[in-house]
Amino acid sequence: MVERKLLVLFGSQTGTAQDTAERIGREAKRRHFQCRVEALDSYDVANLINELLVVFVCATTGQGDPPDNMKMFWRFLFRKNLPPGSLCQLDYTVLGLGDSSYPKFNFVAKKLHKRVLQLGGNPLLPVALGDDQHDLGPDAVVDPWLLALWDKILALYPLPPGLEIISPDIRLPPKYTLHYLAEDSPHPDGGLLQLTAPRALPSEVHPFAARVVSNQRVTAESHFQDVRLIEFDVTGSGITFSAGDVVMIQPQNCPEDVQQFCQLLRLDPDRHFVLTPTEPGTSLPALLPQPCTIRHLVTHYLDISCVPRRSFFELLSYFSTNELEREKLQEFSSAQGQEELYSYCNRPRRTTLEALWDFPHTTCAIPPEYLLDLIPRIRPRAFSIASSMLAHPDRIQILMAVVRYKTRLSKPRRGLCSTWLASLNPEQGDVRVPLWVKKGGMKFPADPDTPVIMIGPGTGVAPFRAAIQERVAQGCRGNCLFFGCRQKSKDFYCQAEWEELVTKGFLMLFTAFSRDQEEKVYVQHRIQENRRLVWELLSSGSAHVYLAG
């Protein structure tokens, strides 16, 4: 009897590919497969030669780039010295998730499919290309593809005699079991961020708890947008970076939302618990201490402010004791109900917490151990670093617009991370933010004589502030900046700093204030007016041009 094992590997940036991979994992369990679902970079790629059946689910980011959690796998797979037949025993299929409004639509999935084929893999189906631009989103492709996939897989690996596909009416067990600790048992306080010197360089799994030094609003009080220049102290972290790099920040939910969530689900925020995996081989969530309090879980881990996905409503429907609520939840998780789900959730940007309010009978019946299956983890947010270590040693600064906008819902929508960061007041004591640094996509010229043309409207100027500070510290003078905003008096970030550098001869500055006169003026108008200078820098100075928005 052939072992019925399936491996689902995903590369995910925003969580959609992971969500889809977990859906495939659930469907595999209903068909009695031993199934593992893993991020591509958590999987030991050297074992791929021993796998018989793999489903790859991968997103494409930026200009055809692989997501962060599959970069190592990607580099390994494209090594020139891999023998052509090394994956000849592998049956595989690739599902891509992309956005057809980008030129390199689903580039990663197409390239992965081709590479595994080159290495001798046997494709079960043509590569499937999910598209965010479709009215029903990627599910328009995923749903029919999954039906075809199970036909293929069950032909190769039929159900064992006497077993049937587990009915969709039956709830699968949770990924983890949650054991509450007795009220009086001693608890090591795992909930606090480790403020001791980290062992390794800070990373997603071991972020550095950086102290907030300052948090200053850089737009006029009368301006519609609140933009902050925030400074963090990273002394002793071992963090180094250069212009163009990115700081990753792990945000948290606000206390009011945490309290509401606990009340809705009738959870005691101060109860301690430990998690154990339901199946051997499942690893525990890396970012959760053991033991942990419900408050820590909800504050730092569960993304209760994200817009819930279809899988959320599907799992929620199993807990429903109320017929009306259950019917609505089942509709939202069906293929036919996707347009309605889009109008309910995605268009108005309704949060998970708000959706739970709308299903009160179901919400109070959610078993706590299913929380980690139901709600994804809070993802880190990326910010361009807006300062240079040469100008500000042991400091990281970011320029951040606070996200706030209206939809048809009465309450304004707020960005989780920017709202949290804006609320931090370093004058009220020792305020810490978990962060680490990643290489960015922008590299500035090593030769100090190469001029640089930077086009950075709005907060897009952040990486250029880092570059200018770095280049000025190195004595480079060929710095040309085109900056645009609405009004000189309201959102001209870092005005004094730029003007001082112009006076000292380190910077050529061209500004476009779109609302300061009758006709709107943007950075492209300033580039056109200064076309001779721009051409001069490009043709005889071999200038590098950078654009950030």
User: Per residue in 96-118, pLDDT tens?
Assistant: 999 999 899 999 999 999 999 99
Q: Quick one: pLDDT at residue 183?
A: 80
Residue 148, number of CB atoms within 10 A of its CB: 14
Q: Quick one: pLDDT at residue 25?
A: 95
Tens of pLDDT, residue by residue over 430-467, are 999 999 999 998 999 989 899 999 999 999 999 999 99
How far is CA 228 from each of CA 24, 115, 214, 336, 348, rounded to the nearest angstrom?
A: 42, 45, 10, 44, 26
Is 35 within 8 Å of 6 (Cβ atoms)? yes
pLDDT of the chain, 549 residues: tens digit per residue: 578 999 999 999 888 999 999 999 999 999 999 999 999 988 999 999 999 999 999 999 888 889 988 989 999 999 999 999 999 999 999 999 999 998 999 999 999 999 999 999 999 999 999 998 887 788 889 999 999 999 999 999 999 999 999 999 899 999 999 999 988 776 655 444 444 444 689 999 999 999 999 999 999 999 999 999 999 999 999 999 999 999 999 999 999 999 999 999 999 999 999 999 998 878 899 889 999 999 999 999 999 999 999 999 999 999 999 999 999 999 999 988 988 999 999 999 999 999 999 999 999 999 999 999 999 999 999 999 999 999 999 999 999 999 999 999 999 999 999 999 999 999 999 999 999 999 998 999 989 899 999 999 999 999 999 999 999 999 999 999 999 999 999 999 999 999 999 999 999 999 999 999 999 999 999 999 999 999 999 998 899 999 998
Q: Quick one: pLDDT at residue 192?
A: 46
Domain 5-156 and domain 452-547 have a common topology: yes
Q: Is 541 exposed, middle or buried (0-12, 13-18, 19+ CB in 10 A)?
A: middle
The CATH fold of domain 257-374: NADPH-cytochrome p450 Reductase; Chain A, domain 3 (1.20.990)
Tokens at residue 461, please? 């100027």
CATH 3.40.50.80 fits 452-547, yes or no: yes
Q: What is the pTM of this model?
A: 0.91
Write the DSSP symbol of residue 102.
S
The CATH fold of domain 5-156: Rossmann fold (3.40.50)
E strands, 256-371, in order: 272-277, 292-293
Q: Quick one: pLDDT at residue 199?
A: 66
List, in sequence order, the alpha helices (H) in 438-518: 462-473, 488-491, 495-503
Residue 223, number of CB atoms within 10 A of its CB: 16
The domain ranges of the chain are: 5-156, 257-374, 452-547
